[in-house]
């Protein structure tokens, strides 16, 4: 049935899916520059007013700072522990490594709502930890670590471990062997994985919402804007969020010399 | 299983085993013992921040709320109440999630197939677009559909502007269709990637070999492509089904009175009612209700691959 489809039909289908995937995001970006306060046609002239209003708002800068702190902590923490795990997994027989990857990916499969409220209940009721940025970072470790492990592990499949073993036989310490042999080979992948983890972290709304207590990140700010007001700056803050997450993804793809 | 075999064959290094340090006997020296400490932090995160909270949260479903306080207990009352009050909502939720998962997986499969086998040089750009939209703002995507479909939204204003309609139409938003479209929208890239991942492991040579010995295109698809894509397809289906069943932001933004989804009510137990045990029982009830659907999907996929 798939093969029976004529090439023009495939072209039309692919085109339709691409339009479907891109149009809504493009519209948000376009309307963030529209003079008309409503997100509707005609959009009026171009303006930067909504960005000016947003940048004059202290709440926005507080949220941006929190998002930045969390993303930086995740870019470092999740990447280090995820890479360490991927290094070990890549030495396991493929069968065991695949099973381990399936189990480690559970947090992506489960609805974020369940993870978010379970973490909140755990922190507040069992551990008596006050909610705040540290608890958000811990929560984001859970949802970003699978991505890092999957990405770095994928790069390390086919990695020739005998290179590292030879270095070790010649007297290099494990750290030296890692820094001089493994790291140069997988460095771009690790940076790519860090950027993806940061994109996931910047993008996350649900886990953040439950784990942060008071305070805002950019997604929770967008949430409160959409829910409470018809603030035309919504499109501007949404555009900033799109720029950050897609920018990180784009950089990751470029660094890992994305080959398709 | 066979996909793993392909990966193994492809990635086996020609100098495998030449290194003096043997692969077996991993604990034989302190250095290799240290190697096994590497995954400890990741395991600690997985156990301490995922398994433990979910287990604790599950235990909480047997607690009770007494005068705004949560009291540890072992009662099934919360489950009974969930069943009595929310069985209908769970049914609607599963229906919407199933529609979303089937739609998403179907489009994702066809698109992944297009990238891998049909698009030729256009394949990489198509995959690139998929990856790009993968992390592009969960909340933003839902908000975008709200502003497209709303009464004063982009679609209506465009139709008015172009004089296609005289009055704004209210049929676009606040109905199950709007919820399914929005959920499909943000799940699609997530579903395309695992399917593409399993299609990528299929050798062109394998298919050509099948064609050479006389298999028709349809049969090559049924006997080679589809069985190898089964794991990725099931992963895509499961992911989209579970995420859709647990989502509460989408129904709140674009759903109407007939699309009350369970996630919405679960969230309210935490934001409004402070009845965490009830919220927990509701969460695990809907997860339990999801399991048969996922198993059925797995059975359907493996059955459809057979003659």
- Given a cut of 50, whether residue B21 has pLDDT beyond it is no
Q: pTM here? A: 0.85
B306–A contact, CB cutoff 8 A: no
What residues does B57 pair with on adjacent strands? none
For residues A118 and B284, what is the distance between their CA atoms, to the nearest angstrom?
11
Minimal CA–CA distance to A132: which of A214, A194, A67, A69? A214
For residues A242 and B19, what is the distance between their CA atoms, to the nearest angstrom?
47
A68–chain B nearest CA distance, Å: 16
B176's tokens: 């199950």
What per-residue confidence (pLDDT) applies to B3? 40
Cβ contact (<8 Å) for B143 and A234?
Answer: yes
What per-residue confidence (pLDDT) applies to B31? 57
A56's tokens: 């004059």
Residues 192-251 of B with CB under 8 A from A: 217-218, 220-221, 238-239, 242-243, 245-249
Residue length of chain B: 307
Cβ contact (<8 Å) for B144 and A238?
Answer: yes
Name the residue among A17, A81, A89 with its Cβ closest to that of B111: A17
The residue of chain B with its CA nearest to that of A139 is: B49
Helix (H, G, I), strand (E, B), or coil: what is residue B206? helix
Contacts of range B75-83, beta carbons closer than 8 Å, 24 or more positions apart? B78/B277, B78/B278, B78/B280, B78/B281, B78/B282, B79/B281, B79/B285, B81/B278, B81/B281, B82/B278, B82/B281, B82/B282, B82/B285, B83/B285
Cβ contact (<8 Å) for A24 and B148?
Answer: yes
Taking residues B295-304, report their average pLDDT.
Answer: 85
What per-residue confidence (pLDDT) applies to B32? 62
**Do strands B64-66 and B69-71 pair parallel, antiparallel, or not at all (unpaired)?**
antiparallel
Environment class of A130 (CB within 10 Å of its CB; exposed 0-12, middle 13-18, buried 19+): exposed
What residues does B65 pair with on adjacent strands? B70
Q: Which of B29, B101, B137 is most worth mutating to test chain A (most A CB atoms within 10 A of its CB)?
A: B137
Angle at B98 between CA B266 and CA A111, to 5 degrees: 40
The rounded percent of chain B whose pLDDT value lies above 90 is: 28
A20–B contact, CB cutoff 8 A: yes
A185–B contact, CB cutoff 8 A: no
- Given a cut of 90, whether residue B258 has pLDDT beyond it is no
- B11, A157 in Cβ contact below 8 A? yes
What per-residue confidence (pLDDT) applies to B35? 67
CB count within 10 Å of CB B98 equals 20
Q: What is the CATH topology of the domain spanning B78-304? A: MetI-like fold (1.10.3720)
B203's tokens: 């050798």
Environment class of A229 (CB within 10 Å of its CB; exposed 0-12, middle 13-18, buried 19+): exposed
Name the residue among B52, B137, B248 with its Cβ closest to that of A203: B137
B203–chain A nearest CA distance, Å: 16
Residues in B closer than 8 angstroms to A149, CB to CB, are: 42
Backbone angles phi, psi at A203, to 5 degrees: -80, -25
A132's tokens: 């705040």
B174's tokens: 């606040």
- Given a cut of 80, whether residue B67 has pLDDT beyond it is no
Cβ contact (<8 Å) for A117 and B270?
Answer: yes
Residues 19-78 of B with CB under 8 A from A: 19-21, 23, 26, 31, 34-36, 38-39, 41-43, 45-46, 49-50, 52-54, 56-57, 60, 70
The mean pLDDT value of chain B amounts to 81
Residues 47-66 of A with CB under 8 A from B: none
What per-residue confidence (pLDDT) applies to B5? 38
Torsion of CA A213, A219, A220, A226, to 10 degrees: -170
B61's tokens: 């479903």
Q: What is the DSSP string of A193-230?
A: HHHHHHHHHHH--HHHHHHS-S---HHHHHHHHHHH--
B82–chain A nearest CA distance, Å: 16
- Given a cut of 60, whether residue B23 has pLDDT beyond it is no
CB count within 10 Å of CB B6 equals 15
A189–chain B nearest CA distance, Å: 15
Question: What sign has the CA pseudo-torsion A22, A28, A34, A40?
Answer: positive
- B60, B274 in Cβ contact below 8 A? no
User: Average pLDDT per run of 10 along chain A, which is 260 residues long?
Assistant: 64 90 88 74 75 85 92 94 90 86 88 92 90 93 93 82 84 83 84 89 92 89 79 83 87 69
Name the residue among A94, A122, A260 with its Cβ closest to that of B124: A260
Minimal CA–CA distance to B103: which of B181, B20, B212? B181
Most confident of the following: B23-32, B76-85, B218-227: B76-85
A67–B contact, CB cutoff 8 A: no
Angle at A259 between CA A253 and CA A260, to 5 degrees: 90
Cβ contact (<8 Å) for B107 and A24?
Answer: no
For residues A115 and A208, what is the distance between their CA atoms, to the nearest angstrom?
10
What residues does B71 pair with on adjacent strands? B64
Q: Where are the domains of chain B?
A: 78-304
Contacts of B277 (CB under 8 A, 6+ apart): B60, B61, B62, B63, B64, B65, B70, B78
B165–A contact, CB cutoff 8 A: no
For B94-105, write each residue's pLDDT tens digit.
999 999 999 999
Domains and their CATH numbers in chain A: 7-47 (no CATH), 59-255 (1.10.3720.10)
What per-residue confidence (pLDDT) applies to A258? 53
Residues 69-128 of B with CB under 8 A from A: 70, 107, 110-111, 113-114, 118-119, 122-124, 126-128
A150–B contact, CB cutoff 8 A: no
For residues A138 and A73, what is the distance between their CA atoms, to the nearest angstrom?
10
Name the helix (H) or strand (E) containing A108.
helix A106-109
ipTM score for this prediction = 0.86
CA B6 to chain centre: 26
- B146, A235 in Cβ contact below 8 A? no
For B90-133, write each residue's pLDDT tens digit.
999 999 999 999 999 999 999 999 988 887 788 888 888 888 88
Torsion of CA B115, B118, B121, B124, to 10 degrees: 0
């Amino acid at each position: 049935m798939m093969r029976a489809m004529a090439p023009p039909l495939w072209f039309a289908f692919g085109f339709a899916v691409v339009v479907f995937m891109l149009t809504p995001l493009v519209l948000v970006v376009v309307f963030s520059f529209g003079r008309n306060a409503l997100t509707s046609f005609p959009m009026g002239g171009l303006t930067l007013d909504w960005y000016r209003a947003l940048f004059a708002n202290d709440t926005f800068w507080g949220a941006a700072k929190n998002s930045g702190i969390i993303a930086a902590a995740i870019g470092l923490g999740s990447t280090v522990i995820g890479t360490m795990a991927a290094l070990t997994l890549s030495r396991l027989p493929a069968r065991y490594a695949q099973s381990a990857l399936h189990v480690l990916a559970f947090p992506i499969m489960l609805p974020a709502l369940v993870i978010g409220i379970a973490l909140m209940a755990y922190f507040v009721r069992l551990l008596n930890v006050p909610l705040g940025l540290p608890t958000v970072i811990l929560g984001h470790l859970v949802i970003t670590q699978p991505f890092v492990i999957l990405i770095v592990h994928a790069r390390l499949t086919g990695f020739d471990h005998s290179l590292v073993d030879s270095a070790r036989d010649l007297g290099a310490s494990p750290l030296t062997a890692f820094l001089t042999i493994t790291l140069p080979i997988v460095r771009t992948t690790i940076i790519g994985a860090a950027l993806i983890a940061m994109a996931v972290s910047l993008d996350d709304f649900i886990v953040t919402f439950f784990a942060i207590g008071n305070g805002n990140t950019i997604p929770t700010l967008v949430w409160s804007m959409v829910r409470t007001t018809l603030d035309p700056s919504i499109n501007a803050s949404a555009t900033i969020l799109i720029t950050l997450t897609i920018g990180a993804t784009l950089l990751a793809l470029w660094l890992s010399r994305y080959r398709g | 299983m066979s996909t793993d075999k392909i990966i193994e064959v492809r990635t086996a290094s020609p100098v495998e085993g030449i290194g003096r340090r043997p692969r077996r006997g991993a604990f034989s020296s302190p250095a290799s013992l240290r190697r096994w400490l590497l995954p400890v932090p990741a395991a600690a995160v997985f156990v301490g921040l995922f398994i433990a909270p979910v287990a604790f949260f599950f235990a909480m479903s047997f607690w009770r709320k007494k005068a705004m306080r949560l009291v540890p207990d072992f009662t099934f009352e919360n489950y009974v109440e969930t069943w009595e009050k929310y069985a209908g909502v769970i049914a609607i939720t599963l229906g919407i999630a199933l529609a979303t998962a089937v739609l998403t997986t179907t489009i994702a499969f066809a698109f992944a197939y297009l990238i891998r086998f049909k698009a030729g040089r256009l394949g990489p750009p198509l995959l690139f677009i998929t990856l790009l939209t993968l992390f592009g703002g969960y909340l933003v995507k839902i908000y975008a559909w709200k502003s497209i479909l709303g009464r004063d939204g982009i679609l209506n204003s465009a139709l008015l502007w172009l004089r296609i309609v005289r009055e704004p139409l209210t049929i676009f938003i606040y109905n199950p269709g709007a919820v399914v479209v929005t959920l499909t929208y943000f799940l699609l890239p997530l579903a395309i990637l695992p399917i593409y991942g399993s299609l990528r492991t299929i050798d062109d040579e394998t298919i050509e070999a099948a064609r050479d010995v006389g298999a028709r295109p349809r049969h090559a698809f049924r006997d080679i492509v589809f069985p190898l894509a089964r794991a990725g397809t099931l992963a895509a289906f499961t992911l989209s089904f579970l995420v859709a069943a647990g989502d509460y932001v989408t129904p709140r933004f674009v759903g109407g009175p007939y699309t009350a989804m369970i996630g919405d009510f679960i969230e309210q137990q935490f934001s409004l009612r402070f009845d965490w045990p009830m919220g927990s029982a509701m969460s695990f009830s809907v997860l339990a209700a999801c399991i048969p659907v996922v198993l059925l999907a797995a059975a359907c996929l493996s059955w459809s691959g057979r003659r």
